[in-house]
Structure 1
Amino acid sequence: MPPLSSLRPAISRARLTGRNGQATVMPRLRVPMSAYVVDCGVYIDGRRLPGRWTHDAAIDEVRERGEGFVWIGLHEPTEEQITGIAETFGLHELAVEDAVHAHNRPKLERYDDTLFMVLKTVCYVGHAEPTTTNEIVETGEVQAFVGRDFVVTVRHGKHSGLHDVRRRLEDDPEQLALGPAAVLHAIADHVVDSYLEVVEAIEDDIDVIEAEVFAPRTTMDPEQIYVMKREILELRRAVMPLLKPLRKITEGYSSLIPHEVRSYFRDVEDHLSSVAERVAGFNELLTTLVDAVLAKVSMRQNTDMRKITAYAALITVPTMFAGIYGMNFDFMPELHWKFGYPLLIVVILLLCGLLARNFRKNGWL
């Protein structure tokens, strides 16, 4: 797709008053759009108009017709780059600041006749072993400005693309004809579906960890489970706060979301509730696994201490005899008997053997 800036000069018109009182139009250069505008389309009756559009031309076309809407997608724009679009669509400066800097919690806010929604995107990071990986969940953001005749989406992150969402909607004109609210629903549905995929992949990883924890004679480092627990908390921070915004939409928070679209949002809310329950279950299960690993470590340490104690007891017997006969007394038994030394060795071995047999019988060795 050729750069949008090459199709139409990126200028806006500022009106100045001349000496004769007549308004004159002077061009004003703007920041090129090609670097951060992913796509810009005009939709009438659910169908995309042919051609390529700048945001100015697109919204002018829609408002001249008095129907349809504009969907413009941005990827990680700077504050300077988004300024022209914000002026054209009348976006609130606070919402624009959030869209530029990202790192927001999922939320839904209303600014006059515009809705601003933030969704956290997640991506499962493939790895060979779930017990050795450092990162499993990668996060990004999608922000959506929804007006009566426009949708502006701002993406942050490499994995948060909406190309497939746009293509599916364009293949379903009946759904797209419902307006900007249908686009917001499709985005929310896409994000929640990605949650389901990530949850299923993580569930497989947790099953592997659980099997290794409870397998006999295995050594699992608790730190490996802490890494997984940290990733679950990252996923939880993306999932849990989104429940409230979706509930607000289904309850009729804004007239920008018509009744027929709110019913679709209820389905998304149900899926998100299911994801939230599974994530909460993962967190509890990992806590249990940490306790199990710590218990195994404690049992292993106790076993090691028993063995060390048993060997120390065995060493005590010859040490005791050596200590006694190492004393420099003149009169000690069997010092001058030729069988004294062999007898002493036999006694030591006999006592050590009895101790070793007793320790093995009790499971200490």
Structure 2
Amino acid sequence: MSVIRNLRRLMRRAYKRTVDLSHPARSPLGSSVVNCVIYENGVRQPGAYPAEEALARVRKAGTGFVWVGLHEPSGEEVTRMTELFALHPLAAEHALHHHQRPRFERYDDTLLAVLKTCRYVEHGELTATSEVVDTGELLVFAGPDFVLTVSHGRHGSLGPLREALESVPDQLAKGPAAVLHAVTDRAVDDYLAVTDALQNDLDAVETQVFSEDAARADPGHIYQLKRELMELKRAVAPLDRPLQQLAAGPTTPIDAELVPYFRDVAGHLTRVTEQIASYDALLDSILQAHLAQVTLAQNEDMRKITAWAAIIAVPTMVCGVYGMNFDHMPELHWEYGYPAALGAMALACYVIHRSFRRNGWL
């Protein structure tokens, strides 16, 4: 697995030099064609060729493969590539329309991978409308002698990945399946990076809920983070079973030599899935704890209101009785009757107040 570690290290270095796929300088061969390159024995061949000529050269030589990258192609460009590589008719629909469910799907001798690209959106403070996870889409068609990648979104550049692969020709010499592995591995590594970054937001929400001023915590923050986590889950969860199947044994176009590499990616995806499940459970617990704290605070307020109402009821009752203006009232004509009544009311209120304080109601 040292090859995988070296490849990942090179990808991280190259990622710092990422160039936006939609930039005109990255598309010299057309409005959506990012790159079209021929590889033989893992070595990039010089020259820039149209996709048709590049594929004809590879098939005439009988070795190597061509890698064509597209970014948000038009319908005409997708149709042209579909006819060129003899893809299944459904492939054109998949390549043209994004917002699809992640999956691996086989069409004869071509394997289609639909992947979601994910990026953590930096933000100063989590709010009820904060965007935390930004997703794009990447499709990879891996055939016997070609790789066709179609990306949607502005953060799925494969330029750094291509550079990293070209620096390891022995890995790239394994053919289109090696590119499929590298793209999948890059996507899963991005999922790991996003889940690690989400831990900080989770800690911030947890600290806010269990702080002394927990009553002022906004449940909208918790819900927003849970919704963003759900978006990440929709990108990750559907890939678990297909990757496990690819890791189980060789299948076209993945030979036995590359099976351990896909097994490694499947292991990392399992880790991401487990982290998302634990985050989701923790958010549920935090939300329940917040609701319990709100309910407890409301109960405390109600007990205080009830206690003060009971205290005020004593002088109210006494004043109500004396306010009836009957001729024969207790101590009505006594010189000290008025202050005595006030003192009795004050004493009664004091005793009730002490009782409530002793029981924790006040």
TM-score (norm 2): 0.89
Which residue of structure 2 aligns with residue 13 of structure 1?
none
The structure whose Rg is larger is 1
TM-superposed CA distance for 1:211, in Å, is: 2.5
1:354 is aligned to 2:351: yes
* Corresponding residue to 2:98 among 93, 99, 102: 102
* Distance in structure 2 (CA, Å) of the matches to 1:313 and 1:53: 90
C-alpha change, 1:187 and 1:3, in structure 2 (3 Å) is: closer
* Distance in structure 2 (CA, Å) of the matches to 1:346 and 1:52: 102
My pick for the range that moved more, 245-254 or 40-49, is 245-254
* Corresponding residue to 1:338 among 335, 340, 353: 335
TM-superposed CA distance for 1:133, in Å, is: 5.1
Which residue of structure 1 aligns with residue 17 of structure 2?
none
**Structure 2 regions of 5+ residues with no counterpart?**
1-24
Which residue of structure 2 aligns with residue 171 of structure 1?
167
1:227 is aligned to 2:224: yes
What amino acid maps onto 1:320 in structure 2? Answer: M
Larger helix share, 1 or 2: 2
What amino acid maps onto 1:130 in structure 2? Answer: L
Which residue of structure 1 aligns with residue 153 of structure 2?
157
CA contact under 8 A between 1:131 and 1:209: conserved in structure 2? no
Q: Once the two structures are superposed, what CA deviation does each residue of 1:266-285 show, in whole Å capped at 9, x if it has no partner?
A: 11011111111111111111
TM-superposed CA distance for 1:221, in Å, is: 2.8
What amino acid maps onto 1:123 in structure 2? Answer: R
C-alpha change, 1:253 and 1:241, in structure 2 (3 Å) is: farther
Give the paired residue count.
337
1:45 is aligned to 2:41: yes
TM-superposed CA distance for 1:3, in Å, is: 5.1
Which residue of structure 1 aligns with residue 10 of structure 2?
none
CA contact under 8 A between 2:136 and 2:156: conserved in structure 1? yes
CA contact under 8 A between 1:221 and 1:293: conserved in structure 2? no
CA contact under 8 A between 2:161 and 2:183: conserved in structure 1? yes
CA contact under 8 A between 1:127 and 1:133: conserved in structure 2? no
Provide the alpha-carbon RMSD of the alignment.
Answer: 1.7
* Distance in structure 1 (CA, Å) of the matches to 2:342 and 2:326: 20
Identity of aligned residues (%): 51
TM-superposed CA distance for 1:131, in Å, is: 5.5
**Structure 1 regions of 5+ residues with no counterpart?**
6-33
* Distance in structure 2 (CA, Å) of the matches to 1:124 and 1:227: 14
What amino acid maps onto 2:202 in structure 1? Answer: I
* Distance in structure 2 (CA, Å) of the matches to 1:3 and 1:330: 105
Which residue of structure 2 aligns with residue 301 of structure 1?
298
* Distance in structure 2 (CA, Å) of the matches to 1:318 and 1:253: 88
What SS does the aligned partner of 1:307 have?
A: helix
* Distance in structure 1 (CA, Å) of the matches to 2:123 and 2:341: 63
TM-superposed CA distance for 1:78, in Å, is: 2.6
* Distance in structure 2 (CA, Å) of the matches to 1:235 and 1:2: 29
* Distance in structure 2 (CA, Å) of the matches to 1:348 and 1:319: 9
Matches within 5 A, 1:1-365: 1=25, 4-5=28-29, 34-130=30-126, 132=128, 134-219=130-215, 220-252=217-249, 254-365=251-362
* Distance in structure 1 (CA, Å) of the matches to 2:140 and 2:79: 16
TM-score (norm 1): 0.88
Q: Once the two structures are superposed, what CA deviation does each residue of 1:26-78 show, in whole Å capped at 9, x if it has no partner?
A: xxxxxxxx221111111111111112222112111211221111111111113
* Distance in structure 2 (CA, Å) of the matches to 1:328 and 1:246: 90
What amino acid maps onto 2:102 in structure 1? Answer: P
Q: Once the two structures are superposed, what CA deviation does each residue of 1:246-279 show, in whole Å capped at 9, x if it has no partner?
A: 1222234632111111211111011111111111
What amino acid maps onto 1:354 in structure 2? Answer: V
* Distance in structure 2 (CA, Å) of the matches to 1:349 and 1:39: 89
* Distance in structure 2 (CA, Å) of the matches to 1:331 and 1:99: 98
CA contact under 8 A between 2:37 and 2:45: conserved in structure 1? yes
TM-superposed CA distance for 1:308, in Å, is: 0.7
